[in-house]
Amino acid sequence: MSLDLGYLLDVPFDWHSRCLTDPTPFFSGKAPERAAAIEACRTCPLLIQCATAALQRNEKWGIWGGLDFQYGPADADHTKARKKRKKAQCGTKAGYDRHNRLREPACQLCRHAIASYSAERRARRLTPA
């Protein structure tokens, strides 16, 4: 898939120089910078073309054509990217809790794990310190 930026050739450079010369605010994690980038887009004659191209490319983050794609890293330095949460494994209390959160019946491994966990808790509670 090639990136088609042909729509940039129809407009004098001074109109789109803000996003091309300093893209930092357009990919910032700071709300004031992102708001300034959106405001800059509002006066750009390429607003529709830029937004359309970003949607066609399935952009994941940044300001494109005045649209805010917020699914990328939390800041422009890429230092605070979200960590994906591990799925709770069956056969553990966390796995049993996950079944409950999803409102599904617990598997046999998880039922056994919660029974063991509950028995251990009862034993600790009944044992004098």
Question: What residues have CB less than 8 Å from 89, skipping those under 6 apart?
Answer: 95
Same domain, 58 and 14: yes
Matching residue, tokens 């966990």 = 117
Q: What is the predicted pLDDT for the residue at 5?
A: 55
State whether 19 and 53 are in the same domain: yes
Residue 82 lies in a domain: no
Confidence of residue 75 (pLDDT cuts 50, 70, 90): very low
The answer as to whether 78 is a domain residue is no
pLDDT for 79 equals: 43
- Tokens read off for 114: 């919660």
Residue 86 lies in a domain: no
Q: In whole angstroms, give the CA distance from residue 62 to residue 38.
A: 10
Residue 64 lies in a domain: yes
Distances (CA, A) of 108 to 38, 94, 105, 129: 52, 14, 9, 33
Together in a domain, 59 and 98: no
The Cα–Cα gap between 26 and 96 comes to: 43
pLDDT tens by residue, 86-122? 788 899 999 999 999 889 999 999 999 999 999 999 9
* pLDDT recorded at residue 82: 53
Asked if residue 46 belongs to a domain, the reply is yes
Sign of the Cα torsion 17, 21, 24, 26 reads positive
85 in a domain, yes or no? Answer: no
pLDDT higher for 83 or 59? Answer: 59
Instruction: Tell whether 75 is covered by a domain.
Output: no
Task: Please check whether residues 52 and 103 belong to one and the same domain.
Answer: no
pLDDT for 12 = 54
Q: Decide if 77 is inside a domain.
A: no
The number of domains in the chain is 2
Segments of 11-128 assigned E as strands: 61-64, 67-70
Domain that holds residue 22: 6-70
List pLDDT tens digits, range 38-70. Answer: 888 888 888 888 888 888 888 888 888 888 887
Q: Are residues 120 and 64 in the same domain?
A: no
The gap between the terminal CA atoms of the chain, to the nearest Å, is 68
The answer to whether residue 14 scores a pLDDT higher than 70 is: no
